[in-house]
Structure 1
Amino acid sequence: MQILTPHKFHIPVMGLAYSIDSPIKVARFGINSTISIIEDNLLEAMRKHYSKKYGEDYVFISSKEKDYRIKRITNYLSLVQRLVNIEFEKIKASTFTFGSDLMKYFEMLPDSGELKNIFEKFLLTENVSEKENLAVLLKEKMKPGAIEVNIMTKVDKDNLDKNNLPIPNASDALTALKAYACSDLKDSAIVFSAGLNPRLYNYMEDFREFDADVSGYFHKKVVIKVSDYRSALIQGKYLAKKGIWVSEFRIESGLNCGGHVFATPGLLMGPILNEFKEKKEELLESLFSLYNPAIIAKGQQGFPKPHPIKITVQGGIGTSQEDNMLHNYYKVDSTGWGTPFLLCPEATTVDKETLQLLLNSKEKDVIRSQSSPLGVGFNYLKGTSAETERLNRIEKGAPGSPCTEKFLVSNTEFTKKPICTASRKYQKLKIKQLEESDLSEIEYQQQKEDVLSKECLCVGLSNAAALNYEVPFLKKQQAVTICPGPNIVNFSKLSTLREMSDHIYGRSNLMHQKGRPHMFVREIELYIDFLEQQITRTQNPEKRMLKNWGTFCNNLIDGIDYYRELLKKQILENNQEEFESSLKKAELTILKLKDSLLKTG
């Protein structure tokens, strides 16, 4: 039997620092949240901070120790579990008094849940005996939120021995996986994002921590973040053949999200969710038909029926109406609210300067940039200290970053040993190559701009926590990068955890901006902008590219037709006329784009 969370939403991973200690802040209230475990230097700094705060002994784990990375990650995660247990038990041991965290736990719950109904009875009854019995029952049913961890599968640098040879099973993603498996986390989950990594998935097969017990319960569940149904099926089958069950597919909008963006070929969120809804049973049976024989072949006990699979969604959700639609119509098990929580210090960790930038951000300030060394789009807030630092280096004629962390080294264009495209070394060599090339002025400037736009994300996405808690782990490097989704412009005030939960469940409204488009409409706008940018950036497109763009347009038109059917069914509670007007405008833009592509071809 799987333990059910009392809340209908979760807090996804954000950057490296922004949700680094979210479980310590929110798990006591039954809210699930996700930590990135790639940057072990940051985790070690956080372990030092929280050990001191809670009076625990702290012994520094040096990078000279054997398996230091695994030890750092494991020790931090185990510490987080202990602290969550302490804080949760502290709440359970308290009394139902006005303003207490115990009252807050139940007051923040969704109004429709069983636990909230019992709590309402508790508040209303005047019978002393009944009140005492209900108080006991409420405490028995309390559950802490899950501590989830995230591994971005593309961040998997090999680590070398003294002879410069890769150490077996010691790459960044594999060591993070082992560290999680060895940690004390219970009722937890590991979230894999950014696509299938065969080496990582193959390595998982060595760990029994991801097996179900005889009752079918997983203490450490596997979650895959996907952009569409096909990706879920491919990755789910790959793991099922190895006897690994995926307990949740976490669907994220390809563009209407924070951080790295992985655009679909014009497939929109609504049709994607509908496919999951219609094919969920098919997905269950398909994976179980591979999983059960695989575990039996390993000598394990088979199961009579599939384990549960959750379907969750995140990316651009901004109102309780949208949240309700996702739960009620698409039957998702949970919704991910990330970007709005950046303005909730009770849940996330953002330094004061960057927090002020978020509060003042306008639509022009949040861009889909080329800042990531991974070579994919990256939703990014302009005006940060990291952007200022990068531009100052360019102005001084010394572009690029020192590259101290090296998690994103992958380029071997000029060197045998991979280097990062945000590094000084790479940018110096690349710009020299561009200067000596026979490019047109337009192509030269575009490629040069792409090179110079790369930022050190290892440092920039970590520093908010280092600054907030005064635990610097990098000398003379304090610049901060932050990666909210486009949705941030709709929120402009700091909120408490209670205020955010009230907003999500429709008990209040934190959104300041009038005329905000529905999340589905906003995603269409982002996809049109993405396509226009792709076309503009391509000087002499090949026939194959033109064909792909045509397919992209067709998929967008199909998505618009699908939304029109939803309007007829009155599924969308948004202003119907405004929604249809937005669809019409988008459709005309896409048809013009398609027509121009046909003329080009």
Structure 2
Amino acid sequence: MSMIHSFHIPVMGLGFTVDSPLKVARFGIASVVSIMDDQLLEDMRRIHSRKLGIPFFPIEDKEPDSRAKRVKAYLNFLQSVVNGQIGKMRKEAFGEGNEIDNYFDLLPEEHPLNQLHSRMRQASGAEKWTLQEELRKEIVPGKIDVNIMTKVDKINYTKDGQALPREYSDALAALRGFAQSEVDGGVVFSAGMNPALYSYAGEFSDFFPDLDGIIKKPIILKVSDYRSALIQGKFLAKKGLWVSEFRIESGLNCGGHAFATDGFLAGPILESFKQNRAILQEELFSICQQALHEKNLPGLPEGIRPKVTYQGGIGTAAENQMLLHTYELDGTGWGSPFLLVPEATSVEKDTLDRLLKAKKSDFYLSRASPLGVPFNNLRTSSGEEQRKARIDKDRPGSPCYKKLLSSNTEFTEKPICTASRQYQLLKIKQREAGEISAEALEEVLDKDCLCEGLGAPAILASGETPRRNLKAVTICPGPNLAYFKGTFSLSEMVGHIYGKLQLNLDTERPHVFLKELELYVDHLKAEMAAAVPDNARKFENYVEKFRKNLSEGISYYQELKFMWSAENEKMLDKLKDQVAGLRWELEKV
């Protein structure tokens, strides 16, 4: 988390936040960069180097350890440019419209630096000069955090087909590039535990405390519930690796991949963190301190505790404040709304126009991801148009160049991607031979090339053409974006988060908790409707457990009287009736 702002901009796709630090870090705003696509990072370093007049020396594919080197080079580039922006800002004259004034104007009105800035504006003479110098010293950049999706970790091979050592896999190589870089930020591990990746972090000193107890590169875990946080936290602690932040994300009310829980809702999950936070801190501290002692490494400072933040579907300042105060959070994450802020993210004009014209029904949970995980998608994206056009031309699937999501060995010894043309044509042959059903084939044809589609917008927004002229964009907004209409300036969106102003949202937008509950009810209905379980009893037990967790979540929400308006209560009663009716629907499945 940035020490200046109480919110951060989470990672969005491969490209939507890939250069966000160049846009927002100088204002003290933390953002997260995906480092999974090294080719995209290399392209962005080239593009921005040329724009800024900085010499660019390419790192070729054939160069040994090129993936890690590209990650390192791009992160060093980002940090160097941001440092230069900060240095320039500190030298600026104060005055309306200057970036140095914008830095402090973006802060909440109750922030001490905002108040000091207001005092400076009213002062004169020597006092004004003294206050200005004090403010200059307080300017620090937002953190440049990176994201590694732990499931994206294929083994790589030499040109003659020999598997490279484990440390050259996609995730480990990306971690090595980050660890060896000079970037000031942490690494966000998302999508669950990867033991090899977590163990590899122990190879780098920056993940351990120094003699002053400072961890140069903090570890941040994106988690869906308390149990996951405890399990992963303990695994890392046993290796002397401290989790500096648990970033709780809604299972369904989020962008990108959706990792649904078994009906556990955001409110009860946040409550469990609040109630068990001291236990979590004490347990992880004891384990980690012992491991550091055994390694003869400096220990953690007494009183250190992991930060806890939440992201997913937040839409108003009131919701933001409710989350911060009710659950005693250290911060929040605002993702999808920033897709409508060109000053913060990279979304090219065509996709931006499609987002603005989209109906609520155009935002949906799809089967597009080759990982087999539900994926938030936009029905009207150019990526979806391209996918359908290829099917219509009897050329389904994508040419697979980057191979980041290659994990299927059904037909080949080396893993291939289920969105690739090679795989999908083989599945069509299976269908023609009567070996699979039409429904099974349709699910395969729903897969899309996320490597190209999620990376293209950053190149296009920069005025360039992606490699191989692959211009179709896949965008992965959360359902919350359907209620935001129009594009906004950075000042407007940040002001909306802090309650300085209120953006005009769709009047039908439900409370963040109720929207997630609605999504979970729909999710369970869809699973029940599609179910042809091999083990009917096991499936019935799963559905009943899911329904029970939803019912308990509703009971919890009914106790939160402070958050209810008459409209919210009406919606909650409706959802409660739907959950109660799922038992009857279960009997029909």
For Structure 1 versus Structure 2, the TM-score category normalised by the shorter chain is over 0.9
The code of the aligned residue for 2:500 comes to R
Does the CA-based 8 Å contact 1:6-1:115 persist in structure 2?
Answer: no
- Inter-CA distance 579–136: structure 2 relative to 1 (3 Å threshold): same
Which position in structure 2 is the counterpart of 1:367? Answer: 364
The code of the aligned residue for 1:77 comes to L
Which position in structure 2 is the counterpart of 1:530? Answer: 523
Aligned-pair CA distance for 1:512: 2.8
Aligned-pair CA distance for 1:218: 1.8
Post-superposition CA distance 1:358-404 (Å, at most 9, x none) = 11121111010000000010000111111111111101111110111
Counterparts of 2:533 and 2:290, CA distance in 1:
51
- Inter-CA distance 155–4: structure 2 relative to 1 (3 Å threshold): closer
Which position in structure 1 is the counterpart of 2:418? Answer: 421
The code of the aligned residue for 2:118 comes to E
Is 1:596 the counterpart of 2:585 in the alignment?
yes
Post-superposition CA distance 1:313-371 (Å, at most 9, x none) = 10000000000101111111111111000010000001110010111121111010000
Aligned-pair CA distance for 1:4: 5.7
Counterparts of 2:267 and 2:438, CA distance in 1:
38
Helix, strand or coil for the counterpart of 1:75?
Answer: helix
Which position in structure 2 is the counterpart of 1:539? Answer: 532
Is 1:432 the counterpart of 2:424 in the alignment?
no
Which position in structure 2 is the counterpart of 1:504? Answer: 497
Which position in structure 1 is the counterpart of 2:480? Answer: 487
Is 1:521 the counterpart of 2:493 in the alignment?
no
The code of the aligned residue for 2:82 comes to V
Taking the TM superposition and a 5 Å limit, the aligned residue runs for 1:19-418 are 19-125=17-123, 127-168=124-165, 169-186=167-184, 188-303=185-300, 305-418=302-415
The code of the aligned residue for 1:319 comes to T
Structure 1 unaligned residues grouped into runs of 5+ = none
Counterparts of 2:259 and 2:115, CA distance in 1:
41
Structure 2 unaligned residues grouped into runs of 5+ = none
The code of the aligned residue for 2:216 comes to H
Does the CA-based 8 Å contact 2:209-2:298 persist in structure 1?
Answer: no
Does the CA-based 8 Å contact 1:12-1:34 persist in structure 2?
Answer: yes
Which position in structure 2 is the counterpart of 1:583? Answer: 572
Aligned-pair CA distance for 1:35: 0.4
Helix, strand or coil for the counterpart of 2:218?
Answer: strand
Helix, strand or coil for the counterpart of 1:372?
Answer: coil
Counterparts of 1:7 and 1:345, CA distance in 2:
20
TM-score by length of 2: 0.97
Aligned-pair CA distance for 1:431: 2.4
- Inter-CA distance 39–4: structure 2 relative to 1 (3 Å threshold): closer
The code of the aligned residue for 1:492 comes to K
Which position in structure 2 is the counterpart of 1:458? Answer: 451
Q: Taking every aligned residue pair, what percent have the same amino acid on both sides?
A: 48
Counting matched residue pairs gives 587
Does the CA-based 8 Å contact 1:259-1:484 persist in structure 2?
Answer: yes
Higher mean displacement: 263-272 or 591-600: 591-600
The code of the aligned residue for 1:383 comes to T
Does the CA-based 8 Å contact 1:35-1:150 persist in structure 2?
Answer: yes
Does the CA-based 8 Å contact 2:2-2:30 persist in structure 1?
Answer: no
TM-score by length of 1: 0.95
Aligned-pair CA distance for 1:304: 5.3
Does the CA-based 8 Å contact 1:285-1:306 persist in structure 2?
Answer: no
Which position in structure 2 is the counterpart of 1:560? Answer: 554
Counterparts of 1:74 and 1:138, CA distance in 2:
32
Helix, strand or coil for the counterpart of 1:19?
Answer: coil
Helix, strand or coil for the counterpart of 2:524?
Answer: helix
The code of the aligned residue for 1:501 comes to V
Aligned-pair CA distance for 1:130: 2.0
Helix, strand or coil for the counterpart of 1:151?
Answer: strand
Does the CA-based 8 Å contact 1:369-1:377 persist in structure 2?
Answer: yes
Higher mean displacement: 221-230 or 383-392: 383-392
Q: Indicate the RMSD between aligned Cα atoms, in angstroms.
A: 1.4
Does the CA-based 8 Å contact 1:284-1:306 persist in structure 2?
Answer: no
Counterparts of 2:404 and 2:317, CA distance in 1:
38
Higher mean displacement: 327-336 or 76-85: 327-336
Helix, strand or coil for the counterpart of 2:502?
Answer: coil
Does the CA-based 8 Å contact 2:72-2:177 persist in structure 1?
Answer: yes
Counterparts of 2:473 and 2:568, CA distance in 1:
37
Does the CA-based 8 Å contact 2:533-2:539 persist in structure 1?
Answer: no
Helix, strand or coil for the counterpart of 1:259?
Answer: coil
Counterparts of 1:446 and 1:584, CA distance in 2:
36
